[in-house]
A and B are shown apart, each in its own frame.
Chain A
């Protein structure tokens, strides 16, 4: 064998990258931060009032009247405020009195004569938009409610994904090998970015979306499930799809454990605020070091610093000591070090003639055809 053996090197983790992140306030909110301000994660960028949702009371059933007449017994007008425990409706009959008490603080939003339901909108609560990162505010767009902050992050790139940019607390649900099922999901995960394991099922994705989970990171999802949500798969194109939740896969299709390199980075960030964009297959882990501001101050970024669609995958020579990831079964997803390169070709059971690599993982030593590995790129 005279020619060097080559393999693709796909950058998966890029440390200490200076990037812009976007923080958005909900409609009607007011931004209070100024451009060039240095911020820390808990600094407030602005405030908004947000209604957390609705409740309903079946007035007709509780009063024992026809649904078309129940609203006559309301003690407050539609559009007025009521507090928990106050009298909502009252009816006096020859048999006695019927009271309907408000179950919550709220605003009487609408009465539906067909069903007899009264809809209560929860009282808006003041919500602060925090920076979430150490950084410098580079742009404020009050009309759009957006703030761009220059910050230092670790970028993690997956192999495919879909869904717009979302942010939230990272929460490791399962081990690297586990399969995420609907029963694993609880209402405590609302607003979180979940680390699932080797596979997340379609019905788990649906349940997560209904619970308000922001995103799920997994080793893989089933190809059919991906296509049903993202439309079509083209590995060299950005997916432009959003179904209400962001999905980010690190290894391939089907159940494949999250690679050890990415999983250890995620473990460092369990319980911390992170950003993810499924369409760009990118996860941003902001630096938690206050001294990162020194680097951020010194780093100039172009005004419209858009990231490369994906980091460039390049072919590099495989050498003894190269860190590799196996990208075809058996042992797809395993990571190891090259400890030997065969000098003569082997004919595989499939009939293909190729050169084998001896690879040492944490658990075993194996032989793998050299086309079936990728070089691990940690920058």
Chain B
């Protein structure tokens, strides 16, 4: 049977990204040689997975820098679609952290964005991303999802695993309802403070 591989095998030239660019995403300091060796071992053993929280933080920092250099592969501005390779979902779990990392380096122009999963032979709609269009001042926000009032804590990307083909969303201060697709990933609400957004 062919060898197992993983996401990092597809990240071309990731070893040429300056370490300084990756370090800027990390909360704690790490030595350059440690990060360089980390990347080298990810290329050597692409099938491996992050064990610790720190491993995942480094992985997401690496993926941010890759996405930043290949934005066209991850955001289709014309179609207003965020494109996620299917193998990214399991590898950079949970998905809201992955979306949050992508949004750190991609500029999404519309309030609602389709999330599409890139599979081997196809691209399928897998959900929606809603970017709250106003400045969040309170700690919580009330949003109606399919006529159900829900309260969300502000500060990060929230995931609702809704698979329905159409979801009705009413913002707190916006009386117009939004009708967006759900899917395999679901509905994501970008509730990060405005200063955290790109």
Q: Mark A323-343, 1 if CB is under 8 A from B, else 0.
A: 000011110100000000000
Query: How far is A66 from B178 in the complex, measured between Cα atoms in Å?
Result: 95
User: Known contacts being A159-B44, A223-B15, is A350 close to B49, with CB within 8 Å?
Assistant: yes
User: Known contacts being A328-B45, A371-B49, is A8 close to B4, with CB within 8 Å?
Assistant: yes
Contact A253 B52 (CB under 8 A): no
Rounded to whole Å, the gap between the CB of A314 and the closest CB of chain B is: 6
User: Known contacts being A8-B47, A328-B41, A328-B45, is A352 close to B91, with CB within 8 Å?
Assistant: yes
Contact B97 A8 (CB under 8 A): no
Q: How many residues of B contact A (CB 8 A)?
A: 31
Interface bracket on A: 35 or more
**Interface hub of A330, A349, A350 (most chain B Cβ within 10 A):** A350
Total A-B contacts with CB atoms under 8 angstroms apart: 108
Query: How far is A352 from B95 in the complex, measured between Cα atoms in Å?
Result: 10
Contact A371 B47 (CB under 8 A): yes
User: Known contacts being A252-B44, A254-B37, A327-B45, is A351 close to B4, with CB within 8 Å?
Assistant: no
Query: Which residues of B lie under 8 Å from residue A348 when comparing CB positions?
Result: 49-52
Considering only CB atoms, which chain A residue lies closest to B97 in the complex? A351
Rounded to whole Å, the gap between the CB of B133 and the closest CB of chain A is: 29
Rounded to whole Å, the gap between the CB of B9 and the closest CB of chain A is: 8
User: Known contacts being A226-B40, A351-B56, A353-B93, is A254 close to B34, with CB within 8 Å?
Assistant: yes
Q: Does A227 touch B at the CB level, under 8 Å?
A: yes
Rounded to whole Å, the gap between the CB of A316 and the closest CB of chain B is: 7
Contact B49 A8 (CB under 8 A): no
Query: Which residues of A lie under 8 Å from residue B4 when comparing CB positions?
Result: 6-8, 315, 371
In the complex, which residues 1-25 of chain B have their Cβ closer than 8 Å to any Cβ of chain A? Answer: 1-4, 6, 15
Contact B41 A254 (CB under 8 A): yes
Rounded to whole Å, the gap between the CB of B62 and the closest CB of chain A is: 13
Considering only CB atoms, which chain B residue lies closest to A226 in the complex? B40
Contact B43 A235 (CB under 8 A): yes
Contact B37 A372 (CB under 8 A): no
Query: Which residues of B lie under 8 Å from residue A316 when comparing CB positions?
Result: 1
Q: Does B110 touch A at the CB level, under 8 Å?
A: no
Q: Does B131 touch A at the CB level, under 8 Å?
A: no
Query: Which residues of A lie under 8 Å from residue B50 when comparing CB positions?
Result: 348, 350, 352
Query: Which residues of B lie under 8 Å from residue A222 when comparing CB positions?
Result: 33, 36-37
Considering only CB atoms, which chain B residue lies closest to A326 in the complex? B48
Q: Does A224 touch B at the CB level, under 8 Å?
A: yes
Q: Chain B: residues with CB nearer than 8 A to chain A?
A: 1-4, 6, 15, 32-34, 36-37, 39-41, 43-45, 47-53, 55-56, 90-91, 93-94, 97
23 chain-A/chain-B pairs, Cβ below 8 angstroms: A7-B4, A8-B3, A159-B44, A224-B32, A224-B33, A226-B40, A232-B15, A233-B40, A252-B40, A252-B41, A253-B41, A254-B33, A254-B34, A254-B41, A315-B1, A329-B51, A350-B53, A351-B93, A351-B94, A352-B50, A352-B90, A369-B51, A372-B49
Given contacts A351-B93, A369-B51, A371-B48, 11 further A-B contacts (CB under 8 A): A220-B37, A222-B37, A235-B44, A253-B44, A314-B3, A315-B3, A316-B1, A350-B93, A351-B56, A353-B93, A371-B47
